[in-house]
Every structure is written in C-alpha cells, then in structure tokens.
Chain A
C-alpha cells in the first residue's frame, strides 16, 4: 500500500499549500507584497528573457562542435557572412523567428536539438552528412510554411528595386514572387549552406539561383 500512502501524503501537502496561499497574508503588508511581487516579476521575466536571448546568439550556436565545424564553416564564404556593406546575418536571424510567440514555439521545438546533442545524433561529420538532407528539409518546410518570414525580415519585396537587379532576377521577382506563387526558399535553397543530394530524395525539387 506504499504508493497509495504516498499519494495521500502528496494530497495533504497540496491541501496545506492551498490553505496558505488562499488565505490573506498574516505577517507581510499589502505594500510589501505588491512591490515585492513587482520586483520579483521584473527579475524573473528579465532573467528569462536574458537567458532566452543568450541562446539566440551566434556564439551560443557555435558553442557546439556540430554547428561550428559543419554549418558555420559553410556559412563563412557566403554573402550572408561577409559582403561589401558589412551587414551580417547570424544563425538566429534566419533560423529563429523574430516575433515573440513564434520564437517561443521554435525554442520549444529546439528542445529536440538538446536531445540530439546529448545523444550525439550528429556528433561526427559522417553522421551529420547522413542526416543533413532530413535537417535541410525541416528548414525548407518551415520557411515554406511561414512564407520565408526570416528572409523577409530583411529582404522586403516592396523595397526591391527591380531595375537594380540582373535581368534574370528581375524577371523572376517581378512575376513569381510578386504574385505570391513562389516564396524565397522555393528558389534560394542552399544560399547559406551546402546542399545535400536533393535529387535522390525529390526529383522535382525546385532550386533556382
């Protein structure tokens, strides 16, 4: 009968706790509780947000060798890392939504990545290469589903001057993109990282420059 008695003890504890919480304070003033609660709220919320933002930096991402030695190395020669105007898109700029609710949702999904880190899902280069198509497809479907939101945080269709683009770019952007038939990721796969063998997975994969 041990489990039952354990349950009963827990129930008693919960009841005692509820009795304390539901009663007015006996020792502390209302002012102390209000102001104290407010300050504690600032500390907790600020702490939570700071911790969240720490996980939202390039330094944090490349803290693990999986990212530092695979995807980060591939990012470095691309235009999103170094370019003439000196603007850099770091990992979270493209891989984490900027909007708070979406960010929290993505962060919760990312707990799977902690699992992957602990159990070494992509702990070697070979394991990473075997898994990369699946990982890439996750990102492509995410960007497809949110209409390339992370691209559009910087690249806005309304701010595009087609006359400053090359003829091919102008033709594609002014038709397919402007009409909403296509979204950025439909054509611009593999701009920041090397592409896996897509053909073996999907013969009709659309990748245009």
Chain B
C-alpha cells in the first residue's frame, strides 16, 4: 500500500513539473527555479489621475484614484481627512467620507469619524499601474442575471 501511495505521489509531482511552462500563472514567484531568487520587478507607479473608478458591487469601498505615499494616518493625525473630512470638503472639493463612517457600533451617528472607521487604508486602497498577472473574470451582480439568461437560451 505504501509503495502504491509513494508511486502516486511521484507521478503527481512529475505531472506538476511537466505543467511548468504551459502558460499557467505562477504567481509572484515567476519562472525562477525554487532554489534561486527571481529578480524583483520594478516598483510600479501609483495611479494618480484623480478619476473616480466605478464600484464592482454596491458595498465596495471605493478605490483611491490618487497617490497616498507618506500620508500620515495615526493616532495624532489623519492626512486623508484634511481633504475628505466633513469640514474640509468645501475647500478641497473632494468626496466626503460616507455617512457610515460616522456611525459607532450601536448605529448612532457621531459628529466625528468613528474610531472603527478611522484607518482609511484598511478598506480603501490606491491602484498601481500594472498589468494584472491573472485575468479577472468578475461579472457585476446586475449583469450576472443577463449572462445566466443568455447561457440558458
């Protein structure tokens, strides 16, 4: 029994090795051998065009269309709020943080950002100017119905 298992394991390993080079994505590691370190790719640039991106689903936290390098968000200071804060919006013309950010966990609205929504990059992320290593097949919820209908026909 043990021998058979060992054989099976070897076969599966061989087939895995054979698959290398067949166009399957190999993740961040790239094509470098396991005992070698691949050359690191160049640092991508953060997208900084200020054009608001759509949301893939209703509750998706909008992505940040500008660079946020070295923005200070800590106990003392929140740089994002210097434009997106409620009192700063008239000057900056930036979108205000949504009203859910003012709710505490009991659903009461506070006048200031709730501590649980304070650290912006927990949900909101900037985008890098790179080609995704894997193609995205995501379909918007509204379109899935139409796609399914099309498939059944």
Contact = CB atoms under 8 A, between A and B. Distances in A.
Q: Do A and B bind each other?
A: yes
Contact of A209 (B71, B74, B93): B71
A120 interface: no
B82 A197 contact: no
Interface in A158-181: 166-168, 171
Interface stretch (A53-61, A86-94, A103-111, A188-196): A188-196
Contacts of A171: 93
> Size class of A's contact patch?
10 to 19
Interface string B67-78: 100111011110
A79 B67 CA distance: 14
Nearest to A176: B91
Contact of A197 (B50, B67, B77, B91): B77
A209 B82 contact: yes
A73 to B, nearest CB: 14
A166 to B, nearest CB: 5
Interface string B88-104: 10011100000000000
A75 to B, nearest CB: 11
A77 B70 CA distance: 8
Interface residues of B, number: 19
A206 B71 CA distance: 15
Chain B interface mostly: loop
Interface in A69-101: 77-79
A166 B66 contact: yes
B49 A167 contact: yes
Interface string B40-73: 0000000011100000000000000011001110
Contact of A167 (B50, B67, B83, B91): B50
B83 A190 contact: no
Given A168-B50, A207-B82, A195 B75 contact: no
B72 A166 contact: no
Contacts of A196: 76-77
B48 A166 contact: yes
Nearest to B77: A195
Interface of B: 48-50, 66-67, 70-72, 74-77, 79, 82-83, 88, 91-93
Interface of A: 77-79, 166-168, 171, 190-191, 194-199, 206-209
